[in-house]
Amino acid sequence: MTSPLHHGLGRRKTAVAKVLLTEEKDSRTINDIPFEQYLSTEVLQNTALRALKLASQDSEYGLKIKVSGSGKNAQAEAISLGIARALIGIDEGFRKQLKQAGLLSRDSRTKERKKPGLKGARRAPQFSKR
């Protein structure tokens, strides 16, 4: 049984990531799938682990992550925010460097809703004179 040290919640677009930092250093899973298998590209893995690497804690903690919604890129960014918030829960000393790197701010950009009478969020139907 993994004993959680601290947890963090990260969101991006419609992706929600619940991150648990554990004491098992070699255990990293996302939705009960190995980390490297779920985030298959190195770019996505680096995006997700950016906060751990910046705080020089990438070999100190294990990760147990539940993520849902959106695509893999948004999920990786949500995981990064969740990890950053969990690290601050463990030690407030990480706040300054994580804040300077922009890892503590939630990227709130989402898709704008479609309005009635329009083709998309803003695109109006083509005007026809005759």
CATH code at position 50: 3.30.230.10
User: How far apart are alpha carbons 37 and 126 in whole angstroms?
Assistant: 46
Q: Has residue 106 been placed in a domain? A: no
Q: Has residue 79 been placed in a domain? A: yes
Give, as one character, the DSSP assignment of residue 129.
Answer: -
Q: How far is C-alpha 110 from the geometric centre of its chain's CA atoms?
A: 14
pLDDT 10s per residue in the chain (130 long)?
A: 556 789 999 999 999 999 999 998 889 999 999 999 999 999 999 999 999 999 998 888 999 999 999 999 999 999 999 999 999 999 999 999 999 999 999 999 999 999 999 999 999 999 999 8
Query: Residue 115: CA atoms inside 13 Å, Cβ hemisphere, count?
Result: 7
Q: Has residue 95 been placed in a domain? A: yes
Domain that holds residue 48: 6-101
Into how many domains does the chain fold? 1
Sheet architecture: strand order including 33-34: 4-12, 15-22, 62-68, 28-30, 33-34
